[in-house]
């Protein structure tokens, strides 16, 4: 684990990003107290259209008025 001050992180941000992308743990601290951990973003999988078909149901009364008063 590499720990850097906020000042060093500002100066060497591109180097810290590269280290995080190479699976090195990068921690940014202020006055020796860890504040944040720099980690790479994990890619999200593609959403599949219709993946929830049959798992969600809309009540038959969905379109009915709620009451007599307008919203």
Question: Quick one: pLDDT at residue 42?
Answer: 87
pTM over 0.85: no
Average confidence (pLDDT) over 32-43: 93
pLDDT at residue 67 greater than cutoff 80 = no
The pLDDT value given to residue 71 = 63
Residue 57 lies in a domain: no
- Domains in the chain: how many in total? 1
Tokens of 37: 């951990």
Contacts of 66 (CB under 8 A, 6+ apart): none
11 domain residue, yes or no: yes
> Rounded to an integer, what is the distance from CA 67 to the centroid of its chain?
40
User: How far, rounded to the nearest angstrom, does the alpha carbon of residue 38 sit from its chain's CA centroid?
Assistant: 12
Tell me the CATH number at 15. Answer: 3.40.1620.10
Q: Report the pLDDT value the prediction gives residue 48, as an integer from 0 to 100.
A: 87
Average pLDDT over residues 33-56: 90
Q: Is residue 55 part of a domain?
A: no
At 29 the pLDDT is 96
**Which residues span the domain enclosing 32?**
2-38
């Amino acid at each position: 684990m590499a720990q850097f001050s906020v000042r060093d992180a500002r100066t060497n941000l591109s180097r810290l990003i590269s280290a995080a992308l190479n699976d090195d743990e990068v921690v940014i601290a202020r006055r020796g107290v860890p504040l944040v951990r720099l980690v790479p973003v994990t890619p999200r999988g593609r959403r599949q259209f219709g993946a929830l078909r049959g798992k969600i149901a809309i009540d038959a009364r969905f379109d009915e008025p709620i009451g007599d008063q307008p919203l």
